[in-house]
Structure 1
Amino acid sequence: MAESLADYERLAATALPRSVHDFVAGGSGAETTLRLNRAALDALTLTPRVLAGVDEPDTSTTLLGTELALPVAVAPMAYQRLLHPDGELLLAQAAADAGIPYVISTLSSYPLEKIAAIAPSWFQLYWLRDRGLVESLVERAVTAGCQALMVTVDVPVMGRRLRDVRNSFTLPPSVVAANLVDMVTEAHSEVPGLSAVAAHTASAFDPAFGWCDVEWLRARCPIPLLVKGILDPRDARRAVEAGADGLVVSNHGGRQFDGAPASIDALGPIVDAVGKDCPVLLDSGVRSGTDVLKALALGASAVLVGRPLLWALAVEAVDEALGLLRHELRDAMLLAGCAELAAVAELTTGRTPWQISG
């Protein structure tokens, strides 16, 4: 039984091959941004209110027309069968049981239709060189009942993830990009000193992805469109101009540009840039209910939770992990004197000047 979401990585480390653990845990380059995400969240403080008369705080919200029991969605994460044979199916069911959306990755190891049949889902889209395949994926997601489309814009190429390079990481034959089965894949071919997954994405992803493509996508997407990977307020405003219905402030969990700011540090200026009518979600580094509260206090509408749920998946504890997150958020709201999520935005935030270690 885990006492916090952080415990699941320790538990999963004993259950996973070292290369798989590194694939999930690692960041790009020197992993500076990976560490920054946690350091910035740890340094952020909230001043609680007292005597609020709160008995049972309301953690529910509505986002893009969807009712959520928590201001949380499961982040899009690739190849979840690396962690458990049922992979995405098991985590999607846990999300459904928890009353939160599950975001299906383009690189899911089960077909998107099979996942969407289990849980209220959004679909995350990587921009591919094959424009016809992009259009097909959007059509499939809409037909499968996905309630929103989340296009990731911070992966023109995969960041250089040195743990994967050192491990010559490759996918086992049983794990495939199930939504891209017609594409030739290099992800199963081991080459010493190279990441096979990086080679696959280099051949499949289009690095020339631009704002005109977002506008093209908006014109063909009949469901709400979120743009994920925004860190600069100028890009936030441009995304809204291109038709985005929402934004995800994200540095890809420290896995793309190493040296990017912590997502939580980028959040406030982006919320200010786009105004209250545009939902803004936070991704990267969230590890507790208190982290969720901190993001909401800075203006986020909700957060994406990623790695902790993969670690929980590896030890068949995803229901437990989401239940723990729910209890942590409830307790944090009680302690902060917030009866509902709207009250969280009224909390005073501060900063403790801690330094990064490690």
Structure 2
Amino acid sequence: MTLPQTVAPATLHDYEQVARGRLDGAVWDFIEGGAESERTVAANRRAYGRVSLRPRVLVDVSVCDTGTELLGARLRTPVGIAPTAYHQLVHPDGEVGTARGAAAAGALFVVSIYASRTVEDIAAAAGGPLWMQLYWLRRREALAALISRAAAAGCRAIVLTVDAPRLGRRHRDARNGFALGPGIRAANLDPALTAAAHVPGAGRSALATHAVEAVDPSVTWADLAWLRERSDLPLVLKGILTGEDAALAVAHGADALIVSNHGGRQLDGAPASLDALAEVVAAVGGACPVLLDGGVRGGTDAFAALALGARAVLLGRPVLWGLAAGGAAGVAGVLDLATEELAHTMALTGRPDLASVDASAVVLRTEAR
């Protein structure tokens, strides 16, 4: 896939600039904004600036293999797509375009419960593995129905986001009175369930109002058994930031974990995902794969996370930049560019495959206080 000739991105931030010029200001704030003062958004990026690489030389790097396996699926790249809502906000093709871009790049796509295209349409466009992300809805029958649909469509895992018993205080959205327009909806849910997300109000986010109505904040570890009873698909928990919760996740049979602070959109002051990674990996002790999202803006960032124990990394905002910039080709371009940067970093550090990208490849400096 190729982007329009007017676009010649050299970095993911080039896609960001194109996307910013094309999107409505309130939509841009919805995508880019974080919780409260956005300290955690900034911390996610700062963390990668504290990583130094330790290159090894005189290693045969004529071929650098970025291929990996995750929950039984073979991938051409460990750089995948994190779940983000309402892709039709940035491009008419929405998640169908995203799926086509992921397929072209050989990457994993985690589909949001708030996708603006149906899981069946997304799956029909996908040429690679799809996982389905869920929030725990108060209406469990709606949750159960979506789990069944995801499995029937060919999704290979269920991803439960566990860090959002209520929506983070996103001041940009509140100031904008952000609400979904009539042409955008959560295509996989009953419209009545998400009606509040379409009702604007001065000084408040309609999505926050919807979350209070729809999401069950009483869920505990014990409720995971209910999910297990309704699906044989692997269960991935997204939003783990501590060793204590990582150990509990393993004890409750999680098949994979995603170290994530929700892109800084939930608890402001939570640690950078990269800073929490080593603690989670240590607590898991190899019992299941650990993934990471949050602040990854290129292949060198991905290399750092992989060296510190992540099996794969997921991109959120950059994928939406790519989609806005060029539809499916833009998504593929973002993923391909990050993967090419990863392979380049592997070559210059003397690491010809992902198995050789280990803790000896990096130094993570402590941030000065």
User: TM-score when scaled to structure 2?
Assistant: 0.94
Select the residue among 333, 337, 340 that pairs with 2:350.
337
Does structure 2 retain, via aligned residues, the 8 Å contact 1:218–1:242? no
- The structural deviation recorded for 1:353 is 5.4
Cα distance between partner residues in 1 of 2:287 and 2:60:
30
- The structural deviation recorded for 1:355 is 6.5
| 1:296-334 deviation per Cα after TM superposition (whole angstroms, max 9, x unaligned) | 100111011110110111111222222211211110110
Does structure 2 retain, via aligned residues, the 8 Å contact 1:31–1:254? yes
Q: Secondary structure at the match of 2:56?
A: coil
* Matches for 1:45-64 after TM superposition, within 5 Å: 45-64=52-71
**Which residue is equivalent to 1:170?**
179
- The structural deviation recorded for 1:352 is 4.2
Does structure 2 retain, via aligned residues, the 8 Å contact 1:39–1:355? no
One-letter code aligned to 1:294: A
- Whether 2:239 is the aligned partner of 1:239: answer no
**Which residue is equivalent to 2:78?**
71
Cα distance between partner residues in 1 of 2:71 and 2:366:
36
One-letter code aligned to 1:68: L
Does structure 1 retain, via aligned residues, the 8 Å contact 2:33–2:172? yes
| 1:39-81 deviation per Cα after TM superposition (whole angstroms, max 9, x unaligned) | 0111122211111111010100111000010012211010000
* Matches for 1:190-209 after TM superposition, within 5 Å: 190-209=200-219
**Which residue is equivalent to 1:253?**
263
* Matches for 1:201-240 after TM superposition, within 5 Å: 201-240=211-250
Select the residue among 31, 36, 46 that pairs with 1:24.
31
- The structural deviation recorded for 1:347 is 2.7
Cα distance between partner residues in 1 of 2:340 and 2:318:
15
User: TM-score when scaled to structure 1?
Assistant: 0.97
The alignment's C-alpha RMSD in Å is 1.3
Gapped regions of structure 2 (runs ≥ 5): 1-7
* Matches for 1:130-149 after TM superposition, within 5 Å: 130-149=139-158
Select the residue among 6, 10, 24 that pairs with 1:3.
10
- The structural deviation recorded for 1:349 is 2.4
Does structure 1 retain, via aligned residues, the 8 Å contact 2:307–2:358? yes
One-letter code aligned to 2:140: R
One-letter code aligned to 2:151: V
Does structure 2 retain, via aligned residues, the 8 Å contact 1:215–1:243? no
| 1:244-282 deviation per Cα after TM superposition (whole angstroms, max 9, x unaligned) | 000000000000000100000000011111112310000
Cα distance between partner residues in 1 of 2:70 and 2:364:
29
Q: Secondary structure at the match of 2:84?
A: coil
Instruction: Report percent identity of matched pairs.
Output: 50
Does structure 1 retain, via aligned residues, the 8 Å contact 2:308–2:359? no
| 1:170-210 deviation per Cα after TM superposition (whole angstroms, max 9, x unaligned) | 11110001111343411111100010111112111111111
- The structural deviation recorded for 1:218 is 2.1
Cα distance between partner residues in 1 of 2:338 and 2:79:
10
Select the residue among 20, 35, 40 that pairs with 1:33.
40
**Which residue is equivalent to 2:125?**
118
User: Could you say if the C-alpha distance between residues 4 and 213 of structure 1 is closer, same or farther in structure 2, counting changes exceeding 3 Å?
Assistant: same
Cα distance between partner residues in 1 of 2:142 and 2:254:
21
Cα distance between partner residues in 2 of 1:118 and 1:213:
33
Does structure 2 retain, via aligned residues, the 8 Å contact 1:48–1:347? no
Cα distance between partner residues in 2 of 1:150 and 1:353:
32
- The structural deviation recorded for 1:101 is 1.4
Gapped regions of structure 1 (runs ≥ 5): none
**Which residue is equivalent to 1:94?**
101
